[in-house]
Amino acid sequence: MSEAASSEQLLLRLEGFEGPLDLLLELARAQKLDLARISILALVEQYLAVIEGARAVRLELAADWLVMAAWLAWLKSRLLLPAGSPEADEGERAADVLASRLAVLEGLRAAALWLGARTLLGRDVFARGAPESFVEIDRSRFRLDMPSLLAAYLGALRRVQQAARYQPAPLTIWSVQDALGRLERLLGSLPDWVSLEQFLPEHLGQPEERRAALASTLLASLEMARDGVLWLRQEQPFGPVLVGRANGGTASTETG
Amino acid sequence: MEEEPLPDVRPAAPAEAEPSEMALRLAEALIFASAEPVPMRALGQILPEGEEVEVVLAALARRYAGRGVELVSVAGGMQFRTAPDLGPSLRKVIQQPRRLPRVAMETLAIIAYHQPMTRPEIEALRGTNLSQETLDVLLEAGLIAPQGRKEAPGRPTLWGTTSHFLAAFGLASLSELPRREDLLASPPTPT
Amino acid sequence: MEEEPLPDVRPAAPAEAEPSEMALRLAEALIFASAEPVPMRALGQILPEGEEVEVVLAALARRYAGRGVELVSVAGGMQFRTAPDLGPSLRKVIQQPRRLPRVAMETLAIIAYHQPMTRPEIEALRGTNLSQETLDVLLEAGLIAPQGRKEAPGRPTLWGTTSHFLAAFGLASLSELPRREDLLASPPTPT
């Protein structure tokens, strides 16, 4: 078979090759030589011939084919130089690199063949088709540990505390009823006109509590004034409200 | 080393013809490798000419009798199955404990610290309703149990933790629970 | 039914003891039940106290020698498989996975020998692009898997073979892969 003819055949099968190295490997094998002793120059020329042929028939070639062709053309130019020049040495080294890359690939191809020739599970031998599982998943239990118990307890306490903080602080409310009682009790010992504030209970802490008690006492005094138990007097707007005993002192007799 | 030392134990089936070793091996391999039970018809197709499917299966079943794996006839055909008596030894139970829901954990903690207590007392402490579901989860897990009834109107059930609760949390006794004061060592100071 | 009929055959055996029938059955059942190789450790866990895994396995392998199903040591564990000589008959009736194309086989070989390696490294070795299809075929077959990322710019994924790769090709470990030099020593003779 002539070299041209074999190139023709390769051209027809070009699409079947896995990239330029694959083709080079095939060409090298066609030389029927140990890969260590193949003629890189011959290989290069064959490759370039195939690419030329592909171009001639306008075969779409992927970029890596053309990149390899360009590199091989460069390599060829170096290999054709008389030995001894730096450029020629460069070419020799590049040829060695190419040869060793092909050798590695050849080794891997042999490994792939070796693997393919193994007794293959699913092709030559078969494993159990209906495996049985003895594994049971038990999800009935709970993961319990002290930290989460305590964290939950603290969480609950804190939440309850927080809820409590939103409630208005329990005020000591001096109700109108309380004020009525106190007014009636103190009215008997009243010497003369006395400021309404004198009737406020002792031990009032918060200012709000004091204001609330003042309001209750005022309401109580207004009620008692309406009933005629006492008189109220105010000299000027926002001035002190003065309380005086009504004539007759019925208040003390009424409350008994 | 002795190999199959007792030919007299394995009674050579008398009248019935012994199937060929190849037929036996093929049936064995096919039933082994099939994902589904192997119908008689499929066995007939693969067995060498002149082999009776029933005879081959009977011989195969005899081979596996008493072994760790048995040949059984199920709907649709023949199948190998693990000998039933080995199930318990081979069973591997994988515990995948769940997390106790937060509400349940809170309720459990409250009961642990304040037991015995009634459901309304739990609700008062948590400041919210206690769902029956939560109570059921704790009951089913064996973490709480009724501990008598409160001498109060309606005689509500008193709840307390169980000894399983102690075991689950690695406590020797309830007194090993950290003291409340220690838990609240630095209370959020209300300003 | 005779159970352990001959005390003189079984116990008392000196150094290399015959395993108990129960140990044999348990190992047989566990390996038989699994579609994957069963690790030695798993076997050790289910065997009765005092039984040597190796001894049990040796006895089990002897029992199955020459049968339709065989005991093999593969991918670091034990597996029952149909006898290789039955493959052609079984292939006709048992569904098989798709054959791997040549590119996939070569890529698999590259990964097997050079793992862990990145996709660009595979491509550099082959001198051409690696199609996504090829990678997908190997991934779907469970033969390769990502094995972390390379500490390099872009942190590319590193690929390696799986334990299923070992099982599929009947290898006990990666060290059973032949050296490539040995493979090339006798090159495929061109006719």
The answer to whether the CB atoms of B33 and C89 lie below 8 A apart is no
> How much is the pLDDT for A10?
56
ipTM of the complex: 0.71
The answer to whether the predicted template modeling score (pTM) of the entire model surpasses 0.95 is: no
- On average, the pLDDT of chain B sits at 85
pLDDT of residue C95: 82
Alpha-carbon gap, residue A118 to B180, rounded angstroms: 70
> How far is the C-alpha of B43 from the C-alpha of B49, rounded, in Å?
12
Nearest to A149 among B80, B94, B105 (CB): B105
Q: Does the beta carbon of B30 lie under 8 angstroms from any beta carbon of chain C?
A: yes
Long-range contacts of C43-49 (CB under 8 A, 24+ apart): C43/C78, C46/B89, C46/B90, C47/C23, C48/C20, C48/C22, C48/C23
Q: CA distances (Å), A177 to each of A183, A213, A214, in order?
A: 10, 11, 13
Q: How many CB pairs under 8 A join A and B?
A: 102
- Nearest chain C residue (CA) to B83: C29
Q: Is A170 exposed, middle or buried (0-12, 13-18, 19+ CB in 10 A)?
A: exposed
Of residues B20, B57, B51, the one with CA closest to residue B37: B57
B69 touches chain C (CB under 8 A): yes
Q: Which pLDDT score is estimated for A13?
A: 63
- Residues B72 and B78: beta-carbon distance below 8 Å: yes
C123 lies within 8 A of chain A by CB: no
User: In the prediction, which pLDDT does C49 show?
Assistant: 86
Q: How confident is the model at residue B126 (pLDDT cuts 50, 70, 90)?
A: confident
In angstroms and rounded to an integer, the radius of gyration of the C-alpha atoms of chain B is 33
Residue-wise pLDDT tens digits, B3-50: 444 444 444 444 456 889 999 999 999 999 999 999 999 999 889 888
Counting every residue written for chain B, the total comes to 191
Task: With beta carbons under 8 A apart, name residues in chain B contacting A149.
Answer: 105, 108-109, 112, 169
Q: What is the 3-state secondary structure (H, E, C) of A164-200?
A: HHHCCCCCCCCCHHHHHHHHHHHHCCCCCCEEHHHHC
Which region among A195-199, A232-236, C60-64, C184-188 has the lowest average model confidence (pLDDT)?
C184-188
Please give the pLDDT value at position C7. Answer: 40
Q: Residue B188 pLDDT > 90, yes or no? A: no
pLDDT higher than threshold 80 for residue A69: yes
Question: Which tops the pLDDT comparison, A246 or B72?
Answer: B72
Residues of chain B positioned with their CB less than 8 A from the CB of A160: 125-127
**Which one is predicted more confidently, A171 or C105?**
C105
pLDDT value at residue A87: 87
Cα separation, B113 vs B132, in Å, equals: 20
- Does the pLDDT of residue B150 top 80, yes or no? yes
Q: Name the strand (E) or helix (H) holding B132.
A: helix B132-140
Per-residue pLDDT, A248: 52
**Residue C115 DSSP SS3:** coil
**Mutation to test the B interface, candidates C47, C49, C89, most B Cβ within 10 Å:** C89
Task: Answer whether C36 touches A (CB < 8 Å).
Answer: yes
Q: What's the confidence (pLDDT) of residue A173?
A: 73
Residue A216: pLDDT over 50: yes
Mean pLDDT of A21-34: 78
Q: How many CB atoms lie within 10 A of CB C56?
A: 23
> Are B143 and B174 a contacting pair, CB within 8 Å?
no
* Residue A119 C-alpha, separation from nearest chain C C-alpha, in angstroms: 6
pLDDT tens digits, one per residue of A183-209: 887 877 777 788 888 888 776 667 777
- Whether the predicted pLDDT of A249 surpasses 50: no
Q: Where are the beta strands (DSSP E) in chain C?
A: 38-39, 69-74, 77-82, 117-118, 144-149, 157-161
Note whether C68 contacts B24, CB cutoff 8 Å.
yes
Measured between CB atoms, which of A130, A135, A159 is closest to B35?
A: A130
How many other CB atoms are found less than 10 A from the CB of residue C185? 10
Query: Exposed, middle or buried by CB within 10 Å (0-12, 13-18, 19+), for B186?
Result: exposed
Which range has the worst mean pLDDT, A11-20, B115-124, C19-28?
A11-20
Q: Report pLDDT for C13.
A: 44
Beta bridge partners of C78: C38, C73
